[in-house]
Amino acid sequence: MNTTTQMPALFGQEYQALRESVSELAIKKIAPFAHDVDENSRYPQEAADALQAAGFAAAHVPVEFGGQGADALAAVIIIEEVARVCGAASLIPAVNKLGSVPLMIAGNDGQKQKYLTQLAAGKGFSYCLSESEAGSDAAAMKTKAVKEGDSWVLSGSKKWISNAGVSEFYTVLASTDPSKGAKGITAFIVEKSDAGVSFGAHEKKMGFRGSPTREVYLDKVKINDDRRLGEVGAGFALAMKTLDHTRITIAAQALGIAQGAFDVAKKYAHERQQFGKPIFDFQGIQFMLADMAMQIEAARQLTYAAAIKSERGESDLTFFSAASKCFATDVAMKVTTDAVQILGGYGYVSDYPVERMMRDAKLTQIYEGTNQIQRVVMARNLETLNN
């Protein structure tokens, strides 16, 4: 495993130190279990324990709530280095951030104190936006929240929820006034232990098999108004603002997967002998590896730029977050496919991790907004670019 990726000097040595720390943990405590996690479609508990012990499972949580106070770039580096060895494990910090960013943006002090401290202590946080008939068209959701006195009653179901059943807390988007469409959606915090919360069967997936993906059922779940996040009717805007920040974590995940596949392919090309010499000596292989390295570095620079814009809240964040997610995930799909090609027959079997990485890479082009949707988002935000 190549561990020599260097941060550009302008980012500061603290980021390089973080990268080296996460990389060491990933190689020693996560990589040895990655094949078994995928093969048996089991939750990467070893990774969860290691990440939690090191403070990397929810490093973005502010220090005052027990977290590391990691900025957006640091969160990207953590996810990237974990994904380099195990895509499923990288969803632990990624999903924790996705589920809790709405709380960090719109939550009041009491809500933050209650839930962020528990998140930092190891209780996961998932995000419930998609439904069976509301994927890219998220505003078409059918889940409803009806006001009853000082309480709300939530009914409906959420589809494709990462780490469902493992996480203790869920940010749920529900329609509080269907007549208003997107402006009638409100965000709530639902707890796993709430009466009426249940989970569907585990989805049988092509990739990311170690991360549970299940439906979340809400059967007349009654919660107090203090579980509402932000203003009534402001939930959809909050959801979109959240994705501006968290699409970048998917770019980081794709970046790590691509780098991991490249590492394996490059090493293999130097070791594999054909026609009396390493296959790296053939120009066809050299050009493939050169293109892979070039594409990964381009994706890395765009992803890091988007992370910095996220931290600063810059006006062109929406464009850059969509661009980083779209570009990095397309690169991951191309790089992992080429890695399988370089390994030939060995790339197609599970003796080597590149076939797993290729399967994992495919999902990054789909979730948190398909790459077709990302191109729509970019096109609508061209005027915000600070050129």
Which residues belong to the active site? 368
Strand partners, 131: 134
Tell me how far apart the alpha carbons of residues 191 and 118 are, in angstroms, rounded to a whole number.
12
User: How far apart are the C-alpha atoms of 114 and 64, rounded to whole Å?
Assistant: 12
Say which residue the tokens 């499972």 belong to: 57
CA angle centred on 171, ends 165 and 172, rounded to 5°:
95
Instruction: Give CA 114 to chain center in angstroms.
Output: 24
* CB-CB contact of 39 with 350 (8 Å): yes
Structure tokens that stand for 72 in this block: 């957006």
Residue labelled with tokens 């989970």: 199
Q: Any idea what DSSP says for residue 276?
A: T
- Hey, how many other C-beta atoms are within 10 angstroms of the C-beta on 70? 22
Strands 169-175 and 185-191, by their bridges, are: antiparallel
Q: What is the DSSP letter of 230?
A: S
Give the span between the Cα atoms of 242 and 119, in whole angstroms: 17
**Residue 310 vs residues 71, 92, 244, 321: alpha-carbon distances, Å:** 9, 20, 8, 8
Maximum Cα interatomic distance, the chain, rounded to a whole number of Å:
80
| CA angle centred on 326, ends 87 and 320, rounded to 5° | 110
Helices (H), 190-316: 235-271, 283-312
CA distance 184 to 164: 25
Which residues is 222 bridged to in the sheet? 153
The count of other CB atoms within 10 Å of the CB of residue 22 is 24
Q: Which residues share a beta bridge with 49?
A: none
Residue 109 neighbours by CB distance under 10 Å: 7
SS3 196: coil
